[in-house]
Structure 1
Amino acid sequence: MWVEKTKTGKYKYTERYTDYMTGKIRRVSVTMDKNNPSTKKLAQQALLRIIEERQNEQPEEVQPLTLWQLVEHYRAYQKQSVKESTYRRNFYQCKALLGILGADVLVENLTANYIKERFLHTGEAFSTLNERRIRLIALLNWGYENDYIADVAYLRKFKPFKDTTHREKIQDKYLESKELTTLIRGIEIKKWQQLTRFLVLSGLRIGEALALTAADLDMYNKVIHVNKTYDANNRSVGTPKTLCSIRDVYIQPELEPICRDLLLTAKLESMAYGVRTPLLFFNRNGNHINPFSYNKYLRERSEKLIGRRITAHTLRHTHASMLLASGVNIETIARRLGHENSKVTREIYLHVTEKLTERDNDQIRQAKII
């Protein structure tokens, strides 16, 4: 405690204390007429009472939080804690949630039934609604963990929407051998055909492939060094999806001529365009190829050639299915693909195994033993 004489001739007694709710140093003071031992004692007692009263004060009641306010807090946190591509994806998912549930709805008043009804009212496919459900649960759990929401137990009652069956979903994730051959032969643009062959033989993600430099193709050791990815939304190169995604992909004999052809093409195009770039795949300006243009072309050609639309990621799943059909171990494929776990690979494996069993049964059915 210390004392200061005021301009009016009185004495101001001040004491510091630590606010246990915030951890901040605060001050309290009382003004007395005199500055002597007995007055100091009275001032000290008064200050202690004030401090005790303030420490016993209950925090102000939290004002009801709207969904829009929660989303703003969530975005501010994610801006500092996740990759730009992840932030951008979640930004638009949250924007959609605000439109579905209402920006002004009070978070504490949300119920499983209200959410489900609002989701169904959109008329969106169940697969899309399930993706939105995942983001909403992540948002609300984050709010609970950061004391913006008192309780989210009701989320246990918000079950996933029943999507198409496992067999119906997984069979569209990869190409059959005949479909792949038809597609590649029907791709008229040389660069897109090279990229398609490369993706299906390496299993790389489209972003990983477009981030490759010529130096990443180590033809001496027969490996592709995968340690970055191209984010087309932000036109930037960053770290791969997960730590497991940083890997060396073996260049098998079937992939080797494609890699050599790509290296030669890169040199020839660099001279033809008059650009200097370390990239393996690039446009006339020496910049990264736009994956959206490639996917658009791939969707259109696949629909015309094999009767269904596919994306670059379908080629990655096709790579996995071909290796599985050849008897390669699941965990080996998962490591090659850079999967954090082999769940996706196992889904494809189950379907491929069922198809192989059906084929084997057909062969046995037609065989005559006696």
Structure 2
Amino acid sequence: MWTEKMKNGKVRFVERYIEPLTGQTKKVSVVFDKNTTATRKQATEVLQARINDALSSTCLYVKQDNLTLEELVDLYRSYQQNAVTASTYRRNYYATETMLKLLGADTLAKNLSAGYVKSRIIKKDDAPYTVNERIRRFKAMIRWGYENDFISDIKYLDKIKPLPDKEAREKLEHKFLEKSDLKCLLDAMKVKHWYYLTSLMALSGLRVGEALALTMNDIDFKEKVIHVSKTYDTVNHKVTSPKTVTSNRDVFMQPELEKLLHEIRKETNKRKMLYGFRSNLLFCDRNGDYLRYYSFNKYLKETSIATLGRPITTHVLRHTHVSLLAEAGVPLETITRRVGHEDSDITKRVYLHVTERMKERDNEIVSRVSLI
């Protein structure tokens, strides 16, 4: 750092730095009234902060040798704040907090290895599902770092395999409802708006946030489609864009869905007249505001335990839609587009499970037939 005396008597403190991508020498400066020990110290701090700011957008691209896991996590979070929904960001924020705790914030990203990661992430007392979820989130972040040139080599990721999860396989059938179970659940629902919301999700495959965000204008009876263009963030209580690009879609109304939507619209208009509010929402409370997700989840859980002997989540209704379409012979590609999935493992698993079960049932029927 050096100083330059200005005509007005003040002092300019100047420092050089090298821009890493171009190799060019650049300067930053700050002006103080006097050149004293205190101002020199203050100038040094200010200039270093300005250099850091100037380098922040470029230096990490060439900083692979000493990029720490904490720095990588910060970069990943900054990206996700603008790229994913608030609820997804929140989930991944806590997932990366766990990574930092288990793997060490100061660990160099380039020194991560399969052996080290497995020794820290796979804990003896943790359930396989917990470990596998941890591995999934870790791999997603590291792959993002590689795709954005923050990490040069990630071949070790192929050596980190998910744990066998027998319980998860056995519980696959718990991720969706049989047609008879769905009918039993709906028959037990005495609160109309929860009955209608449950029916809509099972017949359309909409996520709960997508269903709660629907307005009257989104229901296009002329074209026989539901326009899905937004979602209600139940954590931060605000409407945001859909979860993914493919989530922005039109869902075709099959006859029973169309009939249901006419009933829902009629019921909502009746509630408007009864409680005297103005709202364009398809589903709303007595004040015309968004229905509370947690109230719905609680009602769904209590009703399913009472009728089916096990708790049901809102996502089970979405998977139920997948299973019902699979059972009706609808191709997987069509189902995937309808529910707005880019690539969902659970959708494929539910589909394959249902179709395989149908084959077994068909074989059993044929085995009892005598043709000659």
Q: TM-score scaled to structure 1, two decimals?
A: 0.76
Among 241, 247, 252, the residue aligned to 1:245: 247
Q: 1:265 to 1:61 in 2, by over 3 A?
A: closer
Distance 1:17 1:327, change over 3 A: closer
Amino acid at match of 2:198: T
Residue 19 and residue 108 in structure 1: after superposition, are their counterparts in 2 closer, same or farther (change >3 A)? closer
Provide Cα deviations, 1:131-188, integer angstroms capped at 9, x if missing partner: 2212212323444555655644332321222223885353222111111111111223
Q: What residue number does 2:88 align with?
A: 86
Match of 2:116 in 1: 114
SS at match of 2:255: coil
**Where in structure 1 are there 5+ consecutive unaligned residues?**
8-15, 28-59
Tell me if structure 2 keeps the 8 A contact 1:65–1:106: yes
Counterparts of 1:125 and 1:18 in 2: how far apart (Å)?
50
Residue in structure 2 matched with residue 163 of structure 1 by the alignment: 165
1:44-59 equivalences under 5 Å are: none
> For residues 212 and 122 of structure 1, do their structure 2 counterparts lie closer, same or farther at Cα, with a shift above 3 Å needed?
farther
Partners of 1:66 and 1:214 in 2: how far apart?
Answer: 50
- Which residue number in structure 2 is paired with residue 347 of structure 1? 349
1:26 corresponds to which residue?
26
Aligned Cα RMSD in Å? 3.3
SS of alignment partner, residue 256 of structure 2: coil
Task: State how far apart, in whole Å, the 1-side matches of 2:222 and 2:346 are.
Answer: 32
- Considering only CA atoms, is the larger Rg found in Structure 1 or Structure 2? 1
Asked if the contact 2:85/2:243 (under 8 Å) is kept, the reply is: no
Alignment correspondent of 2:226: 224
SS, match of residue 78 in structure 1: helix
Give 2:76's aligned residue.
74
- 1:259 Cα offset (Å): 0.8
Q: Distance in 1 between matches of 2:201 and 2:304?
A: 15
For residues 241 and 230 of structure 1, the distance between their equivalents in structure 2, rounded to whole angstroms, comes to 10
State the match for 1:213 in structure 2: 215
Q: Which residue of 2 aligns with 1:197?
A: 199
Aligned to 1:273: 275
Supply the distance in 1 between the matched residues of 2:314 and 2:95 (Cα, whole angstroms). Answer: 22
Looking at structure 1, the residues matched to 333 and 147 of structure 2 have their Cα atoms a distance apart, in angstroms, of: 35
Aligned identity (percent) is 48
SS in 2 for 1:171: helix
Normalised to the residue count of structure 2, the TM-score between the two structures is: 0.76
Q: Which amino acid aligns with 2:286?
A: R
- The answer to whether residue 310 in structure 2 is matched with residue 308 in structure 1 is yes
Does the residue aligned with 2:122 lie in a helix, a strand or coil? helix
Name the CA distance, whole Å, in 2 between partners of 1:315 and 1:135.
25
> Counterpart of 1:235?
237
- Please state how far the C-alpha of 1:278 moved relative to its aligned partner: 0.9
AA of the residue aligned to 1:164? K
How many Å apart are 1:221 and its aligned residue? 2.9
Q: 1:102 to 1:61 in 2, by over 3 A?
A: closer
TM-fit CA distance, 1:17: 12
2:338: which partner in 1? 336
2:129 aligned with 1:127: yes
Structure 2, unmatched stretches of 5+, are 8-15, 28-61
Tell me, in whole angstroms, the C-alpha distance in 2 between the residues paired with 1:83 and 1:23.
38
| Displacement of 1:261 | 1.3
Deviations 1:40-97 (A, max 9, x none): xxxxxxxxxxxxxxxxxxxx99885543343223323333444433322211211222
Q: Residues 152 and 18 from structure 1, CA distance in 2 versus in 1: closer, same or farther, beyond 3 angstroms?
A: closer
For each residue in 1:326-349, what CA deviation from the matched residue of structure 2 results, as whole angstroms up to 9, or x when unmatched? 222333322222222576544323
Other-structure match for 1:40: none
- 1:364 & 1:61 partners in 2: Cα distance? 65
Count of aligned pairs: 327
Q: Shift of residue 274 of structure 1? A: 2.8
Deviation at 1:304, TM superposition (A): 2.6
Letter in 1 for 2:197: L
What displacement does 1:317 show? 1.6
* Contact 1:331 1:342 (C-alpha < 8 Å) held by counterparts: no
Residue 87 of structure 2 aligns to a residue whose secondary structure is helix
Q: Distance in 2 between matches of 1:78 and 1:364?
A: 53
> Separation in 1 of the partners of 2:366 and 2:147?
58
Contact 2:65 2:110 in 1 (8 A): no
